[in-house]
Chains A and B, each alone.
Chain A
Amino acid sequence: MSKLTPEIEKLREARRAARRRRPARAVRICTTGCRALGALEVHAAFERELAAAGLTDKVALLKTGCQGICAGAPVIGVDPEGILYLGAKPEDVPEIVRTTLVGGAVVERLCFQGRQGPIPKRVDIPFFAVQKPLVLARCGRIDPTSIESALADGSYEMLERALTGMEPEAVIAEITASGLRGRGGAGFPTGRKWSATRAAPGELKYLICNADEGDPGAFMDRAVVEGDPHAVLEGLLIAAHAIGARQGYVYVRAEYPIAIEHLKLAIAQAREHGLLGDNILGTGMAFDVKIKAGAGAFVCGEETALLASIEGKRGQPRTRPPFPAQSGLWGKPTCINNVETLANIAPILRMGGAVYAGLGTPTSKGTKIFALAGKVKYTGLVEVPIGITMNQLVNDIGGGVPAGSAFKAAQMGGPSGGCVPARYLDMPIDYETVKEVGAIMGSGGLIILDGATCMVDLARYFMDFCAKESCGKCPPCRIGTTRMLEILTRICAGEGKPEDIARLEELGGQVKKNSLCGLGQTAPNPVLTTIRHFRSEYEAHVNERRCPAAVCRRLIGFKILPEKCICCGRCAKACPVPCIAGKIGKAPARATEQDRENGKVGEPFAIQSALCIKCGACFDICPVAAIEKK
């Protein structure tokens, strides 16, 4: 244990200075995830308008990471009022400056629209009400490219505490007491992983942050690295202290360029502040971090494949034993933690393991970030205590399924996960319960499905993903996923055979049992859970050649209901074949005598089904829902 060093004093002084400079009046624009929806243009507009209004010095304009409610991109926070503006365009900026920053009033049309009208303040918005942001606390508040911004918000305080007041064993004890489980998906107790690596013999140990977030729809790790990279570094440093690692890697997918950019900056800044290197904060601790950009293979999120990839080998998993804690990167003891796991470390030390363990359920402690997506009103990133119900997530936070449809199921855990049907809405979401119904917590991807989703097609989609992402090393996964995909494709095409469902179950079970790594061991989950909970949909496909959700093209037909057709002809125009014929004019039912005389009466349009390619263009364009799909 080290004493206070001059370097720590210096860091503290830097933090105090940063806090003194922290602005009260600030506009925070998410420019990471929201960049795709014009956040940078909005930021530029703010720069212009603030200058024009002479407010440049009075209002701090911050580019932040994700603020959570992605449905409202670009998301703009205005402080100190705590106002949240959603979906603003550059042309809205003058009004915001004029009304809010100058006038002190709210632009209501850009606020969250609640049931009883606009809700200007973030704290009042139901989307945030149930959340418990520990990991995401700084995300969306600080400027992730500025270490001062992070320091002012408490970054590295827990590292200081660990280095000055806690033996490695004490850190591990605290993490063990917190009950933290790996947030990457498998849920292995972090404290146990750390003790195993600490106990492994060897001078040189590696610590790896797994930021190879590959599940379609999951983006919490990306948000953390982009929005608060120092949280990852602080977690790594504390972990390195605990397990005695000398070298760290962040394995981040190349598809996350902003994350890589922010992380690079953060590493450089941390090094400048003596937080990385041979003598960290003057305590004699040596640790450094390198970034390794992955090349886009899903399987490289699997830890042994990730190790191979860092070593410059083909990203393929290997069999265990030996476990990475004994023989990992280049044969040295290695600890691999996911981004969210590492970002939990400082909050745990801050609140104490016991308090943290008070959050969540008896077996699943703390908070979990979910990427809420799909057929829900407010999509985005939410951090909630584990054990919250699906109902709370979907309805209280997500605002429910949009009108006109109903919640059918939630797909949890991406391609490795499964579907949780509506009857489990009140199920608490924790590692064990989710597993019982056939899904997994996984990394926290949560896709809400409504009646318009065909479960067979969904299973086919995920199986296609897994078959393409299988590394090809072991036959059950390499061939098994492809054979399952073939069966699913056949069923969706209306060519299913009576024995196909049983074959999928048998094959799926064997692929799970026999595969080498987590990819293959979980790849059948979407299929098996949809069969389990939605068997009738499979049977309809196979036995009746019918897709109940009217999604599988080969099994559906479009028909124009003549009594509803208004003879507008848009369907015929949209038809790419074309196979729709009729006459534009007034609908016969509504035509007047005069129309008849003037020859302005149309003829209802009709589809020549033999030619129809079932693209659905007519269905989508029809203004009066005169086209039936079934």
Chain B
Amino acid sequence: MVRLTIDRRAIEAQPGQTIMQAAQDNGIQIPHLCHEPRLIPTGACRLCQVHVGALDRPPVLACATPVSEGIEVVTESPELAARRKLILELLLSEHRVACTTCDADGECVLQDLAYRYDAREWTYGTFPHSEPVPLNYTSENRAIEYDLEKCVRCGRCVRFCDEVQGACALTFDSRGIGARINTAYGRPLHQSDCELCGGCVRVCPTGAMREKAARGLGRRKDLTRVRTTCTYCGVGCTMELNVNPRLNRIARVTTEPGMGSNDGNLCVKGHFAFDFVNSPERLTKPLIRENGSFREAGWQEAIARASQGLAAARDQYGPEGLAFLSSARCTNEENYLMQKLARMAGKTNNVDQCATTCHAPTVAGLALSLGSGAMTNAIGEIKNVQTLFLIGANPTEAHPIVGLEMKKAMRKGARLIVCDPRDTWMARHAQIHIKHRPGTDNMLVNAMMNHILAANLHDQAFVAERCERFDALCENVKDYTVARAAEVCGVDAELIRRAAEWYAKGAPSAIFYTLGITEHTCGTENVQNLANLAMLCGQIGKESSGINPIRGQNNVQGACDMGAINTVLTGYQKVSDEAVRAKFAKAWGGALPANPGGRVTDFIEKAEAGELKAFYVLGEDPVLSEPNQAKVIESLKKLDFLVVQEIFMTETAKLADVILPATCFAEKDGTFTNTERRVQRVRKAVEPPGEARPDWRILCDMSTAMGYPMNYVGASEIFDEIAALTPSFGGISYERIDKLGLQWPCPTRDHPGTGFLHKGRFTRGKGLMHAIRHRPPAEEPDAAYPFMLSTGRTLYHYNIGNMTRKTASIAQKQNENFVELHRLDAERLGIADGGLARVSTRRGSLVIRAHVGDKVRPGGLWMPFHFVESVTNKLTNDAFDNITRTAEYKCCAARIEDAGAPRA
């Protein structure tokens, strides 16, 4: 500790801290414009000058000067005030002082400081300002407006774009008085490298960078900030919805460093993709199908009709006659109610949610190997990982804030190994990129373990002490030589060896994976094999070291935790366990069903077979999200009765008998659990549109109508019931997670939550090693379909796109489906970059735009699946993981041909 005084107050600071940091930690506000805690000090604004020691010595910059023992810092004096006033008056001399119409009024640092130092805007002449804003790189852009005449050139935006986001889209242009912010070559923002993270807007101290869509929707004093959790991916960013209550509108989204795991950062979806909340396409009234079309209905009638349809199937066909699809988009409370409704009112274990579509192999695989299926480390630990091992993960697009944490680690010198068939951002920045063939992960991982064992790099003590069935693993990987893997995976053997060595020796190493691992017919095995690798090297159960599936949906972790799975109840308490069933039966006042139940992919097959008669779908659109769309539609049409609870008219809803208008995340209270097992609050910010109701209320009414009364006054009451029934949630309450969420397991009220799992002991006791054989994908390229097609997510859109595609600025960046193919293939087939191509599989065919390059391997194709007008899942293969029934989205055989010239 360094002791010093600031304005005669004795304080203690960390060695290496700057005077600015020490002051801020102690609540002392030193004026500044360019300083930002996430950015390297630049010393541009000159406002943070302070005296150190004698007042007649030249002042120093608080932002750049480290603290030292015994110094006496003075932050205010007539001299400093004169200096600050001069600087502020110079800034005001070129500033469009238009606070009356400025969106930043009331939260503008320049405004505050000018007031504080009595700086006048006319002292050095008033600048002839233009109206409207002079044309610049944002003029044609729909997301962000840059107003040069409000810009103080502090460079926060440029530095954020460079130092935090790593997009390097912004730069200073020109010099002297003409210096301004620009993109490279002055390209329009949406055509630049900008990723629309909104960071420039969030760090701007004045009104120079603002969201165009927020223009006129409110100033600081008009807006209420509601702290909540982002509704998109599983990172679970803490954000504040800035709501104008008069308009019942979200004006903009903000967040601050230190507010959550995202530490002040957001991605394009978190910052911009909330226009859907206020969309005119929202469902506002219950709809009932009558004579082939929908008519509006009252809630009472809709609930009655829906409950009758479900109850009829239950009563006529028993527990296998109806199924419930819960939603990873909804809150923990709602998922809890849905599975309770399924089991108590529906009397069936036929309950699932979209984890089956994505990370079910994680839940199953890690549970088998380690005893619990979740990310073992916390997001905050990522920056201290020394060797990052990414396989089948594209964090900068699918989980951008986790991507930022990885960038932090890289800036601190971490080594990066990426195994991915595609040149993702991370792959391009990796020291080792293993660009292996899709579907050869186990070959690769086995060969790595083969090499690690041969080189004696495994952690023998860890294996001996904490793992079992090591012999089986050794025996299994014997055949998987590096040479063989190099051949099968199509990569350089040396890369495999080096990756194995780096991973084994990393201090520490951590594995990160997502759907590139799970969405295979061998998905669960892939996961188990990664667990093998981590255990073999002892790279698990430590801080910043472990195996980390990054979950896809905002609350897919929670949906699983809440027991919206056929085989488990809350906190993965097994349905098959007699004691568990008894406990729940007592709490819920009735016997639990004992049927095995199935997965969503089973539901569709059973509907096809005529065994499933009624289906209640909550906030999911299987018609778009499940593979082989034609078959899904055909199957759902065979149902006797389909209830869909939604915020938009989805493709699945179009097939429904009753549609119930629900509320989105901004219109209700509850909790989401993010990928690092952190239970976080979701808060109501705006009133729902029309007669739309919170899902938990609809579920209560439905259950009651089906004969199992449910009554709760609010989400908090539901959560308390969950906590009481779930040991790993026992210590969590709304009160405790008011500001910052808690990571389960958190069994007691005084438990601080669990940052990383498996410390000293695996959840299941000893880690179980599995002998995993390499199995090729269900469908491999052949003469008729010579390409291997994989699907995935892009940065700009979220899954089926019905939320993100409502935002115009995002549409400007990416608004149509495309296929990536290798330039060699494109040349051979005469397909032009930007031209149209027909992609066909045994299940369907689409004409879409071709993106030619070298992101994919020769022979590979890659497509996103966000576009309802061009449904990629018409093409994908309905072949499933042998354990969790997750579809093989990452591999199917396809054909591509030229379909015309580029559109003008």
Contact = CB atoms under 8 A, between A and B. Distances in A.
Interface of A: 297, 299, 314, 316, 318-321, 467-476, 478-483, 486, 507, 510, 513-516
A292 B87 CA distance: 35
Nearest to A480: B90
A152 to B, nearest CB: 45
B176 A471 contact: yes
A467 B176 contact: yes
Contacts of B64: 319-321
Given A320-B64, A476-B86, A514-B83, A470 B176 contact: yes
Given A472-B178, A475-B152, A479-B177, A514 B93 contact: no
A472 B45 contact: no
Interface in B149-171: 152-153, 155, 171
B61 to A, nearest CB: 6
A297 B175 contact: yes
Contacts of B177: 467, 470, 472, 478-479, 481-482
Given A470-B177, A478-B176, A481-B176, A319 B87 contact: no
A380 B82 CA distance: 44
A515 B44 CA distance: 9
B153 A515 contact: no
Interface residues of B, number: 34
Interface string B309-328: 00000000000000000000
A483 B66 contact: no
A471 B45 CA distance: 13
A472 B153 contact: yes
Contacts of B66: 321
A516 B125 CA distance: 23
Given A318-B42, A319-B41, A472-B175, 9 more contacts: A316-B172, A319-B64, A468-B176, A473-B172, A474-B43, A475-B91, A479-B93, A507-B86, A513-B83
B176 A473 contact: no
B115 interface: no
Contacts of B293: none
B46 A515 contact: yes
A319 B43 contact: yes
22 contacts: A299-B175, A319-B43, A319-B61, A319-B63, A319-B64, A467-B177, A470-B175, A470-B177, A471-B176, A472-B176, A472-B177, A473-B172, A475-B45, A476-B87, A476-B90, A479-B124, A479-B177, A481-B176, A482-B176, A486-B125, A510-B82, A514-B46
Contacts of B387: none
B90 A479 contact: yes
Nearest to B79: A513
B179 interface: yes
Q: Which of B58, B125, B176 has the most CB of A within 10 A?
A: B176
Nearest to A297: B175
Interface string B32-52: 000000000111111001000
A604 to B, nearest CB: 46
Nearest to B90: A479
B179 A478 contact: yes
Contacts, number: 94
A483 B66 CA distance: 33
Q: Which of A468, A474, A486 has the most CB of B within 10 A?
A: A474
A616 B42 CA distance: 49
A283 B174 CA distance: 47
B86 A510 contact: yes
B94 interface: yes
B65 interface: yes
A8 B83 CA distance: 59
A318 B63 CA distance: 12
Interface in B292-338: none
A510 to B, nearest CB: 4
A471 B174 CA distance: 8
Interface string B75-87: 0000000110011
Contacts of A482: 176-177
Contact of B155 (A469, A473, A480): A473
Nearest to A506: B86
A299 B172 CA distance: 15
A161 to B, nearest CB: 41
Given A483-B90, A486-B125, A514-B86, A471 B175 contact: yes
Contacts of A507: 86, 124
A318 B43 contact: yes
Contacts of A320: 64
Interface string B770-796: 000000000000000000000000000
Nearest to B41: A319
Given A479-B93, A483-B125, A474 B179 contact: no
Contacts of A510: 82-83, 86
A515 B64 CA distance: 15
A483 B86 contact: no
A467 B44 CA distance: 17
Contacts of A321: 64-66
B176 A514 contact: no
The 4 A-B residue pairs with the shortest CB-CB distance, nearest first, are A319-B43, A472-B179, A479-B90, A470-B176
Given A297-B175, A316-B172, A483-B93, A473 B153 contact: yes
Contacts of A318: 42-43
A467 B174 CA distance: 12
Contacts of B61: 319
A469 B175 contact: yes
Nearest to B158: A314
Contacts of B125: 483, 486
A591 B564 CA distance: 120
Contacts of B42: 318-319, 473
B41 to A, nearest CB: 6
Q: Which of B46, B82, B94 has the most CB of A within 10 A?
A: B46
A200 B64 CA distance: 19
Contacts of B44: 473-474, 516
A472 B178 CA distance: 8
Contacts of A475: 45-46, 87, 90-91, 152-153
Q: Which of A468, A482, A514 has the most CB of B within 10 A?
A: A514
Interface in B722-738: none
Nearest to B178: A472
Nearest to A299: B175
Contacts of B58: 513
Contacts of A476: 46, 86-87, 90
A510 B155 CA distance: 22
Contacts of B155: 473
A314 B90 contact: no
A479 B63 CA distance: 22
Contact of A469 (B46, B87, B153, B176): B176
Nearest to B49: A514
A470 B63 CA distance: 22
Contacts of B176: 467-472, 478, 481-482
A499 to B, nearest CB: 11
A478 B172 CA distance: 13
Given A314-B171, A319-B64, A514 B87 contact: yes
Contacts of B63: 319
Contacts of A479: 90-91, 93-94, 124, 177
Nearest to B47: A475
Interface in B805-828: none
Contacts of A468: 175-176
A487 to B, nearest CB: 9
Interface in B169-194: 171-172, 174-179
Nearest to A479: B90
A516 B94 CA distance: 19
A426 B125 CA distance: 42
Contacts of B82: 510
A350 B61 CA distance: 43
A320 B42 CA distance: 9
A474 B64 CA distance: 15
A425 to B, nearest CB: 33
